[in-house]
Amino acid sequence: MNLDNLIHPLQKLQHATKLAPIFDKIQELEILQCELAKIIPAPGDKYLHIANIRDQVLILHADSPAWASRLRYLAPVILEHLRARGWPNLIDTQVRVSRNAAIATEILPPERQTLSATTIELLQRVARNTPDPQLRSAWERLANSCNAADR
């Protein structure tokens, strides 16, 4: 039985001399991603990704500006953790919002906002005191839609 036939095609490519550095880089980034998951609490580990290391700068991608902001805040902790785990030459981080953010993140429907009874009463009072009939109608619709949501 020839064992060479059992080796996965990607493993064969990995041992090719020209492709070995690429596979080494991929493996390093996967290890870094695992290390990042240890620092970032769930669910953040789903939305934050190691993109690259270039010129001793760790490049991180976030799926939204909100996650990018949180990642920038945690950058010193991330660097300290990674330096202690075998990347002592890292000097900085760079955080970018991924271009695929709309695809990568879950799109949740917005929560319906409710208004207090006082606010609804105020809207009704504004409607009664508005001389323009179209604007008055708009205020009344707004007040009534809030009333309907509360029922």
Same domain, 89 and 141: no
**How big, in percent rounded to 5, are the helix, strand and coil portions of the chain?**
60, 15, 30
Q: Which two tokens stand for residue 99?
A: 């271009």
Which CATH number goes with the domain that contains 17? 3.30.300.180
Mean pLDDT across the chain, nearest whole number? 79
Cα gap 21→12, rounded to integer Å: 14
Q: Identify the three-state secondary structure at position 106.
A: coil
Same domain, 71 and 140: no
Q: Which two tokens stand for residue 128?
A: 């009664």
Q: Identify the three-state secondary structure at position 108.
A: coil
pLDDT (tens digit, 9 = 90+) per residue, 60-106? 898 888 888 988 988 899 899 989 988 888 899 899 998 765 454 45
Cα gap 90→84, rounded to integer Å: 10
Q: Would 3 be classed as within a structural domain?
A: no
Cα gap 147→140, rounded to integer Å: 10
Q: Would 109 be classed as within a structural domain?
A: no
pLDDT (tens digit, 9 = 90+) per residue, 110-150? 666 777 888 888 889 989 998 999 988 988 888 888 655 45
Q: Look up the domain containing 71 and give its range.
A: 8-103
Look at residue 2 in the predicted model and tell me its pLDDT: 47
Look at residue 6 in the predicted model and tell me its pLDDT: 43
pLDDT (tens digit, 9 = 90+) per residue, 4-51? 554 455 565 556 667 778 888 888 888 888 888 888 877 777 788 888
Q: Identify the three-state secondary structure at position 58.
A: strand
Same domain, 20 and 60: yes
pTM of the full structure: 0.55
**Domain total of the chain:** 2
Same domain, 25 and 64: yes
Q: Would 112 be classed as within a structural domain?
A: no
